[in-house]
């Protein structure tokens, strides 16, 4: 009896060991196949992707794509053989993958498979009906990916916006514009339109983001401050621009429930950029430590020091003409909707700079086509790109008006702007020199100290007066240009 029990037990142990070994062997094969699939996917998305590879080769891309699809087929076949669900447990061996990650991956895989089928059908001269069917299938796969991407982006944005900010500072409930692949592929230099559209939505003014771009900047140009103000005012949105603002001004704006559009340099300090300040963070002592803003379609939690460096002065043409334009710590406080708003743009402190940028903006919009060719000249010195300009599309009256506006701004800026700036800098230097000298009781020494301080103050006052004269002249000239734009039915 004991022998029978022992034999039975031995057989049971052997069976369990065999099952365990089989299971472990299956798991090992699945893990290996999974790794092969992910390696193939990584190879395709880097070396085989035109956006990620410096040496893109379409034939190699096709080969890598097919290798990935084959590896995915092997992996799913092993899952099926092992009795696992080939859909819901694709990432059973990768704890870093969430269900959302899996959904995005699965949608992308379906899209790639659909693309392979479409390419094969075209190569094999399939019927037009079959090819159209596959094109529709592929387009639908892409649509699913976009929907998942937007959903995930919104969820992540919401998490970032509320994480750690509720108790330390203040943040306004302004959501960023949803990223859109079609728009991203067609337009750029649209940070100003991101800021404007987010502002309109925050105020309850519903406008499609693409509509904002097409109304304001269909040519991929920079967006002048006046252009933002005039567009918001056309929606009865009251704006208050301020130059030489500070962090306290931003805090007051946020505390009042107002967004602040800030004119900064981009992260590489090469070109001007618009961001939408929606909040701030502070430490236990109540000091503001971070500025919270929307940079296009995502939120940023920026240390005050870094933000002030970027906010000091937008960089034009990689810093080559910075001294000509002085939007220093410039912000537009958006005060809200005012049905009785009277547009006038009465702010004069940056009128000379605004006139110049308005003229450049008007010229760009007068081109009536993408200004990428001019951007290529500025960035890379690529004059051959100018051959791409379609002369038949140009709106010559608007282009000429912008040219005149820009040209008339230059002598005014050189005469009053730079001389005023020079006087203010010289005055500041003299004041700093005077302040650095100790009071000694010596008549001559103290006289020099007092004279330096006084002369510095006089020079700074004179510089401000000269600059003010130039700004008022530009403001008067802008009245003419605004009227001319209205006569041309130009949307300003």
Same domain, 284 and 246: yes
Q: Which residues, 6+ apart, have CB-to-CB distance to 327 below 8 Å? A: 225, 243, 263, 272, 313, 314, 350, 353
Does some domain include residue 334?
A: yes
Considering the domain architecture, whether residues 278 and 375 belong to the same structural domain is answered as no
Determine, yes or no, domain membership for 18. Answer: no
Lowest average pLDDT, out of 23-32, 245-254, 380-389, 482-491, goes to: 23-32
Q: Which of 40-44, 331-335, 357-361, 438-442 has the lowest mean pLDDT?
A: 40-44
Domain's final residue, options 322, 347, 372: 347
Query: Can you name the residues that pair with 275 across neighbouring β-strands?
Result: 262
Q: Are 360 and 409 in a shared domain?
A: yes
SS3 of 362-407: the string is HHHHHCCCCCHHHHHHHHHCCHHHHHHCCHHHCCHHHHHHHHHHHH
> Is 167 part of a structural domain of the chain?
no
Q: What pLDDT shows up at residue 31?
A: 77
CA–CA gap between residue 220 and residue 216 (Å, rounded) = 10
Domain boundary among 101, 131, 158: 158
Please state the domain count of the chain: 3
What CATH number should be reported for the domain holding residue 210?
Answer: 3.90.70.10
pLDDT tier at 122 (50, 70, 90 boundaries)? confident
Q: Assign 199 a pLDDT band (cuts: 50, 70, 90).
A: very high
| 122 and 59 co-located in one domain | yes
Average pLDDT over residues 442-469: 88
By CB atoms closer than 10 A (0-12, 13-18, 19+), residue 106 is middle
- Residue 319 pLDDT exceeds 60: no
For residues 273 and 89, the model is more confident at: 273
Examine the domain organization and report whether 129 and 67 are in the same domain: yes
Q: Are residues 179 and 283 in the same domain?
A: yes
Nearest to 350 by CA among 485, 258, 241: 241
Task: Judge if 357 and 461 occupy the same domain.
Answer: yes
In a domain, 163, yes or no: no
pLDDT at 88 over 60: no
User: What's residue 334's pLDDT?
Assistant: 95
Q: Are residues 322 and 429 in the same domain?
A: no
34 shares its domain with 145: yes
Average pLDDT rounded to a whole number, residues 151-166: 49
Give the per-residue pLDDT at 232: 94
**DSSP structure class, residue 269:** S
Non-local (6+) Cβ contacts of 219 within 8 A are 364, 365, 367, 368, 369, 370, 371
Assess if residue 21 is contained within a domain: no
Residue 146: per-residue pLDDT: 64
Percent of the chain whose pLDDT exceeds 90: 15
Q: For 459-484, how does the pLDDT look when each residue is reduced to its tens digit (9 = 90+)?
A: 999 988 998 898 889 888 888 888 88
Instruction: Kindly state the tokens that stand for 151.
Output: 């959903």
What is the reported pLDDT for 17?
43
**CA 144, CA 142: separation in Å to the nearest integer?**
5
Choose from 54-68, 129-143, 272-286 the range with maximum mean pLDDT.
272-286
What mean pLDDT comes out for the span 339-351? 73
- Please give the average per-residue pLDDT across 421-448, as a whole number: 86
Give the range of the structural domain holding residue 238, as residue numbers without chain letter: 173-347
What pLDDT is attached to residue 18? 45
Dump pLDDT digits (tens) for 201-253. 899 998 988 899 999 988 888 898 999 998 999 899 999 999 999 999 999 99
pLDDT at 461: 92
Region 349-361: what's the mean pLDDT? 87
What mean pLDDT is reported for the chain? 78
Assess whether 270 and 194 both reside in one domain: yes
Instruction: Tell whether 471 and 372 lie within a shared domain.
Output: yes
**What pLDDT is recorded for position 212?**
93
Contact 223, 199 (CB under 8 A): no
What pLDDT, on the 0 to 100 scale, is given for residue 89? 44
CA distances from 40 to 70, 91, 95, 179 (A): 9, 16, 20, 28
Same domain? For 83 and 140 the reply is yes
Give residue-wise pLDDT tens across range 246-288. Answer: 999 999 999 999 999 999 986 555 678 899 999 888 888 888 9
| Residue 337, SS3 per DSSP | strand
Query: What does the alpha-carbon distance between residue 479 and residue 42 come to, in Å, rounded to a whole number?
Result: 58
* Domain closes at, from 303, 330, 347: 347
Kindly state the helix (H) or strand (E) to which residue 313 belongs, with its residue range.
none
Position 38 pLDDT exceeds 60: yes
């Amino acid at each position: 009896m004991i022998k029978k029990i022992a034999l039975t037990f031995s057989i049971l142990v052997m069976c369990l060991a065999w099952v365990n070994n089989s299971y472990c062997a299956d798991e090992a094969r699945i893990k290996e196949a999974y790794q092969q699939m992910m390696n193939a996917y990584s190879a395709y998305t880097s070396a085989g992707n035109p956006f990620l590879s410096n040496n893109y080769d379409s034939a190699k891309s096709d080969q890598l794509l097919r290798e990935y699809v084959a590896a995915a087929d092997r992996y799913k076949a092993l899952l099926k053989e092992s009795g696992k669900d080939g859909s819901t447990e694709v990432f059973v061996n990768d704890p870093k993958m969430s269900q959302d990650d899996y959904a995005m991956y699965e949608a992308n895989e379906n899209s790639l498979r659909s693309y392979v089928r479409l390419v094969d059908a075209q190569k094999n001269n399939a019927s037009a009906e079959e090819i159209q069917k596959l094109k529709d299938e592929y387009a639908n796969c892409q649509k699913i990916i976009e929907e998942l991407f937007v959903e995930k982006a919104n969820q992540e944005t919401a998490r970032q916006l509320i994480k750690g900010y509720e108790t330390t500072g203040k943040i306004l409930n302004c959501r960023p514009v949803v990223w859109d692949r079609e728009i991203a592929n067609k337009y750029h230099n649209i940070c100003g339109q991101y800021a404007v559209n987010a502002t309109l939505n925050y105020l309850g003014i519903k406008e499609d983001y693409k509509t904002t771009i097409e109304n304001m900047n269909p040519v991929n140009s920079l967006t002048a401050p006046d252009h933002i103000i005039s567009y918001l005012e056309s929606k009865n949105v009251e704006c208050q621009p301020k130059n030489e603002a500070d962090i306290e001004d931003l805090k007051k704006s946020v505390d009042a429930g107002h967004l602040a559009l800030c004119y900064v340099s981009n992260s590489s300090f090469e070109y001007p950029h618009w961001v939408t300040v929606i909040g701030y963070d502070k430490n236990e002592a109540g000091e503001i430590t971070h500025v919270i803003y929307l940079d296009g379609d995502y939120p940023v939690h920026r240390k005050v020091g870094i933000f002030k460096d970027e906010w000091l002065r937008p960089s034009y043409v990689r810093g080559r003409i910075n001294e000509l334009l002085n939007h220093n710590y410039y912000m537009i406080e958006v005060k809200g909707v005012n049905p009785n708003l009277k547009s006038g743009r009465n702010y004069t402190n940056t009128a000379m700079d605004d006139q110049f940028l308005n003229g450049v903006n008007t010229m760009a919009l007068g081109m009536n086509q993408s200004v990428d060719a001019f951007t290529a000249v500025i960035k890379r010195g690529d004059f051959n790109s100018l051959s791409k300009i379609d002369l038949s599309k140009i709106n010559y009256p608007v282009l000429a008006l912008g040219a005149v506006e820009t040209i008339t701004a230059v002598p005014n800026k050189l005469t009053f702007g730079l001389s005023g700036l020079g006087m203010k800098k010289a005055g500041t230097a003299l004041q700093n020199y005077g302040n650095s000298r100790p009071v000694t009781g010596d008549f001559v020494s103290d006289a020099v100290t007092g004279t330096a301080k006084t002369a510095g103050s006089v020079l700074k006052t004179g510089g401000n007066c000269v600059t003010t004269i130039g700004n008022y002249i530009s403001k008067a000239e802008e009245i003419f240009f605004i009227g001319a734009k209205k006569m041309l039915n130009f949307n300003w």
